[in-house]
Amino acid sequence: MTTDGSTPEGIARDAEIRALTKAHVFQSWSAQADLNPTPLAGGEGAWFWDHVGNKWLDFSSQLVNVNLGYRHPDMTAALKAAAEGLAMVSPAMAHESRARAAEAIAGLAPEGMNKIFFTNGGQDAIENAVKLARGHTGRHKVLSAYRSYHGAGTLSQTLTGEPRRWAAESGVSGVVHFWGPHLYRSEFDSSTPEEESQRSLRNIRRTIEVEGPDGIAAIVMESVVGTNGVLVPPPGFWPGLRALCDEFGIMLIADEVMAGFGRCGSWFAFERFDVAPDLIAFAKGVNSGYVPLGGVVMTDAIADTYAHKPFPGGLTYSGHPLACATAVAAIDIMRRDGVVEHAREVGESVLGPALAELAQRHACIGQVRGIGLMWAVEFVSDAQAKTPLDAATMGTLIHACRAEGIWPFMAGNRLHLVPPLVITADEVRQGVAALERALGRLP
CB 130, CB 314: distance < 8 Å: no
Calpha distance 66→420 (Å, rounded): 6
What CATH number should be reported for the domain whose range is 75-337? 3.40.640.10
Within 10 Å of residue 69's Cβ, how many Cβ atoms?
22
Within 10 Å of residue 388's Cβ, how many Cβ atoms?
18
Calpha distance 426→252 (Å, rounded): 39
The DSSP bridge pattern shows strands 216-222 and 251-255 to be parallel
Q: How is 54-112 classified by DSSP, letter by letter?
A: BEEEEESHHHHT-TT-BT-HHHHHHHHHHHTS-S---TTS--HHHHHHHHHHHHHSPTT
With 0-12 CB in 10 A as exposed, 13-18 as middle and 19+ as buried, what is 121?
A: buried
Within 10 Å of residue 133's Cβ, how many Cβ atoms?
26
CB 74, CB 43: distance < 8 Å: no
Calpha distance 48→343 (Å, rounded): 20
Nearest CA among 290, 295, 294, 341 for reference residue 75? 290
- Between 193-211 and 237-248, two packed helices, what is the crossing angle to 10 degrees? 20
Tens-digit pLDDT profile for the chain (443 aa)? 445 568 999 999 999 999 999 999 999 999 999 899 999 999 999 999 999 999 999 999 999 999 999 999 999 999 999 999 999 999 999 999 999 999 999 999 999 999 999 999 999 999 999 999 999 999 999 999 999 999 999 999 999 999 998 888 777 899 999 999 999 999 999 999 999 999 999 999 999 999 999 999 999 999 999 999 999 999 999 999 999 999 999 999 999 999 999 999 999 999 999 999 999 999 999 999 999 999 999 999 999 999 999 999 999 999 999 999 999 999 999 999 999 999 999 999 999 999 999 999 999 999 999 999 999 999 999 999 999 999 999 999 999 999 999 999 999 999 999 999 999 999 999 999 999 999 999 98
What CATH number should be reported for the domain whose range is 8-71+338-439? 3.90.1150.10
Locate CATH 3.90.1150.10 in the chain: 8-71+338-439
Nearest CA among 275, 273, 142 for reference residue 219? 142
pTM here? 0.96
Locate CATH 3.40.640.10 in the chain: 75-337
Q: What share of the chain is helix, strand, coil (3-state, %, to 5)?
A: 45, 20, 40
Calpha distance 281→116 (Å, rounded): 10
